[in-house]
Structure 1
């Protein structure tokens, strides 16, 4: 039996970066968490301990901070592209770089005052190899809720099924979305806001017979709205709301009082894509 080294990579995870852009008395604020991962001709360090091709992860961290000063840190996709291209172009042993950015939003309160937004986190992941570049934008934690216009019935039943059918329920989810761009030169802020708005519109405008149907409607809205997007991957946890039994108190609950369930929860996942897009790197939405 022979033992061989399989796929491998290494990098610096969760580098915290806050960049203040000072334009007179009015400041701008960027809050990023950056991850860098490199792969390529790195077998020697695993097999013999030869570190001649191992760029220190501390150097990766320092590069993040230096690039924030030298190039600014505007849109997360743009910053990730700069970093990924740098590592592939400057290190001949590196064949591919993956850079991820989580961007925390801050709402302006004044020229130099801000309040942190907590309703969602914007994300970007960039892959740069010697052959190609791939940009994936996204959002996590976007919580949406419809108090009506949602049903769930007609499902199969067996001896373990206790869920009643319903023609009127609360539909709530916390959207985790990733969308792959056709190119690497979009107007990133405009594109992100456009996709975000289309996802929300798809949720709001769809009379839902299932969360799966809503997922497809949301993805379809995004692809119709933004031609630069090739496909979108959605993970929608079903944030269950259960009707409270008020009969012990002599009260009728006319679909008004609910308890919000925590776990377990249903998890609906799917990809909505155009039928004529180039093939993506494997696992692009992860």
Structure 2
């Protein structure tokens, strides 16, 4: 990778044009679900950046690894905190805000030197993605393009083979971090639902679905489209914390008009 001074020397002392920043959706996990445009942008980018928990490999990088050039520069962005601090604590908010500021400035250095940077984002970049924190910090300073990706929830209901909604069905997407009463309220006013951020929230998600009269229809999906995929009725899943790539689906149209679809769903492991 050339330094800024090398770029200046090669351009006759004139500052290089700023590079373009890409937010690249890598899809739900199956490498074959990466879009053609995403593959092209990744192959052409000067730098590829990705998020990961400290000490862990990036799942998004695993998905796109075959599209990287040999020796292509990469920028790892390791989260300073994950589950060690509660997300509403002042310590967490301060640490994560500083992390995103520092990450944005690391990217800004590359972009200011004229290098294009592709930032990986699991699923779609503008849907519950860390990319958004970089997007809002850099979009006024550099040219930014977002490459859409197949969402994890789309991978989930496709793997389950259960239609999620149709016609006038209302589909509600909820974070499992909401308290039980809030979940019950939202679920009671929807024909279909997707619950994200399951993790340690599984017990109160289950309780909320039961109170809303939807527990019998709920499906638990883990690692959709990836190796180790599991799909089962939520009532068959115990209350152990769910892995990161887990969601709960509440089919609307399929469950109401074709209940046999759920009755014949085989648990997979």
TM-score (norm 1): 0.23
Whose strand fraction is larger, Structure 1's or Structure 2's? 1
Return the structure number with greater relative CO, CA threshold 8 A, min gap 6: 2
Larger radius of gyration: 1
Query: Which has the larger share of helix?
Result: 2
